[in-house]
Amino acid sequence: MSARLHQLLERQQRLIAKSEAQRASIAADMRVWQKPFTWIDRGLGVIGLIQNNRVLLYAAFALLASYKPAGARKLVVFAVSALKIAHHVRDLISPKPSSKPKG
């Protein structure tokens, strides 16, 4: 019985060492992605802020339009184009359900 217990203890030590090496490897690989994930997180936070406070978006656009009308025009053209592309991609990814009745 003690030989079996000794084998189990050795195996446990090997597995612990292996898992520590894997954790270190994953941590090193994830350090590369830390900064891009931070920017994505900030962007999602800004999107959430805009969705919850539409008045801020309107006020910022009105301020831009009053100071730089050409810049506002370019922004509108860009935003409309981006929304069209986003809707098209969304429709490609998840098409609308058909209107045919099941049966």
Same-domain status, 58 and 74: yes
- In-domain check, residue 44: yes
Same-domain status, 32 and 3: yes
Can you list the positions of beta strands (E) in 6-58?
Answer: none
- pTM (2 d.p.): 0.43
Same-domain status, 63 and 76: yes
DSSP letter string over 75-94? HHHHHHHHHHHHHHHHHHHS
Q: Terminal CA-to-CA distance of the chain, rounded, Å? A: 66
- Above 60 in pLDDT, residue 101? no
| pLDDT (tens digit per residue) in 48-90 | 888 888 888 788 888 888 888 888 888 888 888 888 888 888 8
Same-domain status, 43 and 75: no
Number of folded domains that form the chain: 2
Phi/psi for 3 (5° steps) reads -65, -40
- Structural domain of residue 20, as residue ranges? 1-52
